Each structure stands twice: as structure tokens, then as C-alpha cells.
Amino acid sequence: MGEPDAERLLVKHFLALLQAKVPGASVEVRVPPYAAVQVIEGVRHTRGTPPAVIETDAKTWIALSTGALQWVEAIDQGLVHASGERTDLSGLLPLASPEDA
């Protein structure tokens, strides 16, 4: 398995873990080009651009998910773009330890 394949699988795995941890449809988490999921209970979004969006790249999402990078650091460094209510994932991350990845 090549690096892009492994990266894609890890991104999807960690997004699925987040979705299982905080199901819902009020915040969209995007990790282009691999996947996007809707999470966190609240007002359900069905059309157009969601009112709450988090977007980052694959390497950043994996680092956040494993605890190799903290949410506040990623925001401060401009590695994560978050807009709207409930887009602070600091209390939900990490999803796994670096050894699990």
C-alpha cells in the first residue's frame, strides 16, 4: 500500500471514529480530497454550504486525531479553518494515541 492510500485510509478511519463519538449533522468536517463527514448534534444541515465547517489537510487531521498536534496549535498555525458554532474540537481530540496510527 502506497503512502497516499495509507493516508486516505487513516483520514477516513479517524473521521469515522469522530462520527461515532459525536454523531449528528450540525458541523461538517472536511479533509479534501479524501472525505467529509457531518458530526455533532444540533440543527441538521441538508442543502448548500453548512453553517459550521471545519476544513484541514490529511496530515493535519491525522496529527490531530493521534494527539501529535493540539487543536489550539493547529488553529494558531492556520492549519485548520473553522467557522460557525460548535467547531472547537479540542475536547474531542485526540481520537487515538500516536502508537495506534
Residue range 26-51, pLDDT digits in tens: 899 999 999 999 999 987 666 667 78
User: For the chain, which residues make up each domain, given as ranges?
Assistant: 3-36+50-94
The SS3 call for residue 88 is coil
The SS3 call for residue 93 is coil
Reported pTM: 0.89
Pick the CATH number of 3-36+50-94 from 3.65.10.10, 3.10.450.50, 3.30.1050.40, 3.30.930.10: 3.30.1050.40
Instruction: Please state, rounded to an integer, the average pLDDT across all residues of the chain.
Output: 91
β-bridge pairing 27-31 and 80-83: unpaired
Mean pLDDT of 42-65: 86
